[in-house]
Homo-oligomer: A and B are copies of this chain.
Amino acid sequence: MKKRIVTIGREFGSGGRSVGRMVAQKLGVSFYDKELVRQISLKTGFHEDFIEQGEYAPIQSWMAYAFPASGVRNVMQGMSAEDFLWCMQCRVIRELAEREPCVIVGRCADYILRERMDCLNAFIHADMASRADRVVRLYGQAETSIERRLEDKDKKRRVYYKHYTGQEWGAAANYDVSLSTSALGLERCADIIVSLMQEELPEAGEIKGGAYDASN
């Protein structure tokens, strides 16, 4: 079957978002990244900055940073802000996937859409030196060392992903394809994903395409 949706998980600074944008452009489909945050904001009443921070820091008291629109407390039904946001995020992502072919970056979309057979789940990463180089180019120097910032971001994404999915963030087994932008280049990573989206891929449950030759 052909896939309709690409989800992209990524290490901070790996260029995963750029790869996602290239894939969406080449396929001529919608790209959900900031726009996804905006839609979740509309649904929840939370400020966009709060939602963006959320992906990095789930196990904190977020209320100090949140600016819920009037009435939002009434619909939270006793849930923590984090869990309410997660539920709304799941709903928005499922609705998007139902509505149109698209590329969705981050926010555990691979896990949220795990029941769908029409998703290609990709993970984008890069070596530490390349990520450091890229982040300094994009965001400039900061007071804390760049390696420290990267480790900190990775750790928070790992905790967030583990908390809500029960799975290990960045484990190859969670994705259909994982690619290093430092080893392959951004364009090549995008091209691999695009070509996979244009092919008939196997149905789940059986490994196809080679002889069963007593090797694994």
Contact = CB atoms under 8 A, between A and B. Distances in A.
Interface of A: 10-19, 21-22, 33, 120, 123, 125-127, 129-131, 133-135, 137-138, 168, 170-173, 175-188, 192, 196, 199, 201-202, 204-216
Closest CB pairs A-B (n = 3): A185-B209, A172-B178, A186-B210
A126 B210 CA distance: 14
Nearest to A154: B173
Given A172-B175, A180-B177, A188-B199, A135 B216 contact: yes
A216 B33 CA distance: 11
Q: How many chain copies?
A: 2
B182 A216 contact: no
A210 B187 contact: yes
B177 A201 contact: no
Nearest to A170: B172
Given A134-B212, A210-B15, A216-B16, A204 B182 contact: yes
A181 B204 CA distance: 10
A205 B130 contact: yes
Contact of A22 (B18, B125, B210): B210
Nearest to A192: B192
B186 A180 contact: no
A183 B192 contact: no
Contacts of A214: 138
A11 B179 CA distance: 18
Contacts of A207: 14-15, 126, 130-131, 133-134, 181-182, 185-186
Interface centre among A19, A120, A204, by most chain B C-beta atoms within 10 angstroms, is A204
A210 B18 contact: yes
Given A18-B215, A212-B138, A214-B138, A185 B202 contact: yes
18 contacts: A15-B207, A18-B215, A21-B213, A21-B215, A130-B207, A134-B206, A138-B214, A172-B172, A175-B180, A177-B177, A177-B178, A177-B184, A181-B209, A182-B202, A182-B204, A187-B209, A187-B210, A188-B196
